[in-house]
Chain A
Amino acid sequence: KQEVTQIPAALSVPEGENLVLNCSFTDSAIYNLQWFRQDPGKGLTSLLLIQSSQREQTSGRLNASLDKSSGRSTLYIAASQPGDSATYLCAVNDNAGNMLTFGGGTRLMVKP
């Protein structure tokens, strides 16, 4: 059974720092991987989707990489802003099924 782990669980940084959020998964036979953002008490907003054949995807200040063989993905946030404060979730879509397995998330706080 696929297991997804996100490290760190919480992160507090001053505004302007570049930061990296980590996601690891136990079964490398994935179809794709999706990063989401969740604000407190709200739904999920999709940030980036990486197919298993891709190495990275970029959107604005966000860059997500995928190393399928080692079971890892990273989300890089450049020049962090207070508005980036949220929980970031990594979700894996396995080859075998058609549903997402989520990590526990990283709670990010960016201080002005």
Chain B
Amino acid sequence: EADIYQTPRYLVIGTGKKITLECSQTMGHDKMYWYQQDPGMELHLIHYSYGVNSTEKGDLSSESTVSRIRTEHFPLTLESARPSHTSQYLCASSPDRFYGYTFGSGTRLTVV
């Protein structure tokens, strides 16, 4: 069983709303990641963190922001959601790349 949790599992919201997608892991991993995946498309890295107070943007430009105040939490926030943000968002963590990566179940976001 994966020890990385994402909430909510599904979310439908109106344009202009502020939302936060939660990601938590109980494994004490320093490294955490957010990937975006459009239906039938590849995963693209949008944010990552190597530890508390460390955040970086990934390869795919995103209007979302992240924070890492605690090791176990890596929330992603959209200040003003738009239909173009409709996608699946996947969170992952790793203690070190030697051990590979563990993914959460994802949040499927629909902005109407």
Contact = CB atoms under 8 A, between A and B. Distances in A.
Nearest to A42: B105
Contacts of A91: 101
Contacts, number: 53
Interface residues of A, number: 22
B19 interface: no
Contact of B104 (A31, A43, A104): A43
B42 A105 contact: yes
Contacts of A44: 90, 92, 103
Contacts of B98: 31-32, 51
A91 B99 CA distance: 13
A104 B42 CA distance: 5
B43 A46 contact: no
Interface in B37-68: 41-43, 45, 48, 50, 58
B97 A98 contact: yes
B100 A43 contact: no
B103 A43 contact: yes
Given A41-B108, A98-B50, A99-B33, A49 B100 contact: yes
B97 A43 contact: no
A102 B103 contact: no
A21 B76 CA distance: 34
Interface in A37-56: 41-46, 49, 51
B58 A99 contact: yes
A42 B39 CA distance: 11
13 contacts: A31-B97, A32-B100, A36-B103, A44-B92, A45-B2, A46-B100, A49-B100, A51-B98, A89-B43, A98-B31, A99-B45, A100-B45, A102-B43
